[in-house]
Amino acid sequence: MKLTSTKLKEFAQIAGFDLCGITTPDRLPESEAKFTKWIDKSYHADMDWIAKNRSRRFDPKELLGNVKSVIILGINYYQPNSESVPKGKGLVSRYARGKDYHKIIKKKTENLLYRIDKENQEDCEHKWWVDYGPFLERPYAEKAGLGYIGKNGMLITKQFGSWIFISEILTTIELAPDQPTDLEHGKCTTCTLCIDACPTDAIVKPRLVDSNKCISYLTIERPKTIPDELASKFGAMVFGCDICQDVCPHNLSRQRPTTHKEFDYANGVGEFLDLQEVLNLKDREAFLKLTAGTPLTRPKEDGLKRNCKIALNNEQD
Catalytic residues: 131
Tell me the C-alpha to C-alpha distance, in Å, between residue 145 and each of 153, 227, 260: 16, 40, 23
76 in Cβ contact with 106 (< 8 Å) = no
Biggest alpha carbon–alpha carbon distance for the chain: 66
Window contacting ligand B12 (CB under 6 A); options: 78-86, 211-219, 251-259, 304-312: 211-219
Q: How many CB atoms lie within 10 A of CB 5?
A: 18
CA distance 46 to 209: 14
139 binds ligand B12 (CB under 6 A): yes
Strand 89-92 vs strand 237-239: parallel, antiparallel, or unpaired? parallel
Window contacting ligand B12 (CB under 6 A); options: 179-187, 240-248, 268-276, 279-287: 240-248
Window contacting ligand B12 (CB under 6 A); options: 4-12, 82-90, 160-168, 288-296: 160-168
CA distance 159 to 166: 14
79 binds ligand B12 (CB under 6 A): no
Looking at the Cβ atoms of 22 and 202, the one nearer to ligand B12 is: 202
Looking at the Cβ atoms of 152 and 258, the one nearer to ligand B12 is: 152
Window contacting ligand B12 (CB under 6 A); options: 17-25, 116-124, 241-249, 261-269: 241-249
Among 154, 170, 243, 269, binds ligand B12 (CB under 6 A): 154
CA distance 36 to 232: 31
136 binds ligand B12 (CB under 6 A): yes
Looking at the Cβ atoms of 135 and 234, the one nearer to ligand B12 is: 135
Number of residues that bind ligand B12 (CB under 6 A): 37
CA distance 136 to 138: 6
The one-character DSSP state at 221 is: T
Min separation Cβ 245 and ligand B12, Å: 6
Helix, strand and coil content of the chain, in percent to the nearest 5, comes to 40, 15, 45
Q: Which helix (H) or strand (E) holds 231?
A: helix 228-231
> Pattern 9-38, binding to ligand B12, x per CB under 6 A?
----------------------x--xx--x
SS3 call for 141: helix
**Which residues form the interface with ligand B12 (CB under 6 A)?**
31, 34-35, 38, 47, 50, 93, 95, 130-131, 133, 135-139, 149, 152-155, 162, 164-166, 207-209, 211, 214, 216-217, 221, 240-242, 244
